[in-house]
Amino acid sequence: MVGVPGRSNGCQTCRKRRLKCADEARPRCQRCEKSGYKCAGYEKPLHFRIAVSSATEATKISRTATTLHCRNNSHSAVPMTLSLVSFESDICNAFLLENFVWRSYGYKWLHLAVSGKISLLALQASSALSQSNFGSFHRQYDLKINGSILYGKVVRSLIPVLSYPIKPAVEALIVPIMILLIHESLLADQTGSISHVRGLIQLIMVCGPERFQQEPLRSAFESCRATLITIGLISKKRCFPDEEKWHSIPWAIEPSSKSPQNYLADILVTVPGMLEDDAVLRRQYDSMARATLIDRLKCQLIKLFEWRWNWEKLNQFSVWEVPVSLNPNRPAITGQDRIFESIFCFSAFELATEIMLYNGVQMWLVGLLQELLPLNSPAIISSAARISASRAGTLRDTNFTPLVLPGTSFSLREPAIEICRALEYQCLNLQHSRGAALFCLLPIGLAYGTLEQEPQYRDWIRSMLDLSPVMKGYVLGQSVKGFGLYYRYWRLPGITA
């Protein structure tokens, strides 16, 4: 058949010309001779063909050829099918530690737990938290579910261990329990946090302060104490012992490691007990018990002011004001809507954290004092300021600081405003946050509760918090990080765990 390879007996020339070949005179072709063409002969050429069994295999071969071609032309090409599953854990952990509230709260122990340097349970708990956190924020439901499953496994692993808490090294369980408590802030139903709090209290009481003298467990103990103090303030009940041994023994080996925030915590830990005693006096009046409560309150106020005078001596000229127009970081509110024409600046980020906590403790003590002795509270505050200045060896006429000094404020409004001004500095300089913040959100909640009836201050606080995706919506109870629920407890201080 002419024109069909393998079917014709004609010469190669006639086959190419698609003509019937006169091959009777082989090995010569009469048609080629008559036409003047050079005959190519009758030998059949070899044909090489790649046989494939299906279109899919043909596609694979085509892709392979294309890939080889690309590799020959460019050695830097990255395959389009590269999977990020191998990096999933690292991505989730990095995103977890970007949260400066959790990072500063878990200073010195959270990143060690994430890297598996404390215990297997701590690693599993941090993996559950990081996956749930990343999945919730980025709407990756598979990750969120995996985090919840791992959370349940850690809880089931803790139950038998806590049932026999006298085992060696049981104090290390403080870290996974703390991480599970953080995990609860991501959940809509936070009833599980009650069990975690009870587990922490049981663990600490069984171990005693001597078991928390070494890092990183000492830092975990500091965070745990801050949590239990906060719960005590919310519930108006003693949740953490305020005996002297808990103020000294954890830092006995290395006294210099005790931070200014922990000295403030020594004062704040006494407040839940005083709130509980005040609630009892409201139900059943007792003049002797009331006098004792007032004496305790005065004593703690003197300690607080003495801390403040010592802080002033150690940090002279560490706080100053800068006009808004000269500040390199743009504040949240500018122009006519601003309350202050200047912004506080601190020589270190941690100093702003300390001043915020100091004012928060002052608001608790002064607020309780005003309830017990509303008419005499200014005189008591002035007396406490004089006594504390004498003990600290400080002149009360210090006038080189823009901060409010002890004895110059007699209401809750001034410390609330100072909290806001320190908060503004922090919101504009979050990149410098490196240290611990044991009570990061407590002062903010107190300040907002005091100033929210003043529209200018209310809008100012909200705008500052909105600068950070972590705290955005916090005071409205809408924070995606679970901190909104934390603030609602301040709005309803009668809630008990």
Residue 223 has which token pair?
Answer: 């965070």
* Integer Cα distance of 87 and 90 in angstroms: 5
Q: Could you tell me the residue ranges of all domains in the chain?
A: 1-49, 91-258, 260-497
Spell out the per-residue pLDDT of the chain, length 497, in tens. Answer: 444 555 556 787 787 777 777 666 677 787 787 777 777 777 766 655 555 444 455 455 455 555 545 455 544 554 555 555 668 889 999 999 888 888 899 999 999 999 999 999 999 999 999 999 999 888 888 999 999 999 999 999 998 888 777 777 899 999 999 999 999 877 766 677 888 888 899 999 999 999 999 999 999 999 999 999 998 998 899 888 888 999 999 999 999 999 999 999 999 999 999 999 999 999 999 999 999 999 999 999 999 999 999 999 999 899 999 988 777 666 655 555 678 889 999 999 999 999 999 999 999 999 999 999 999 999 999 999 999 999 998 765 566 789 999 999 999 999 999 999 999 999 888 888 888 999 988 999 899 889 989 999 988 888 888 887 777 766 555 444 444 444 444 443 332 33
- Alpha-carbon torsion angle 412, 418, 421, 427, nearest 10: -80
* Integer Cα distance of 49 and 40 in angstroms: 23
Q: What is the C-alpha radius of gyration for the chain, rounded to an integer number of angstroms? A: 37
Superfamily of domain 1-49: Zn(2)-C6 fungal-type DNA-binding domain (4.10.240.10)
* Integer Cα distance of 278 and 284 in angstroms: 10
With the C-alpha atoms ordered 433, 270, 479, 184, is the resulting torsion angle positive or negative? positive
Residue 151 CB coordination number (10 Å): 24
Q: Which residues contact 489 (CB under 8 A, 6 or more apart)?
A: 234, 495
Nearest CA among 496, 476, 472 for reference residue 101: 472
Tens-place pLDDT, residues 342-361: 999 999 999 999 999 999 99
Residue 187 has which token pair?
Answer: 């959940």
pTM for the whole structure: 0.79
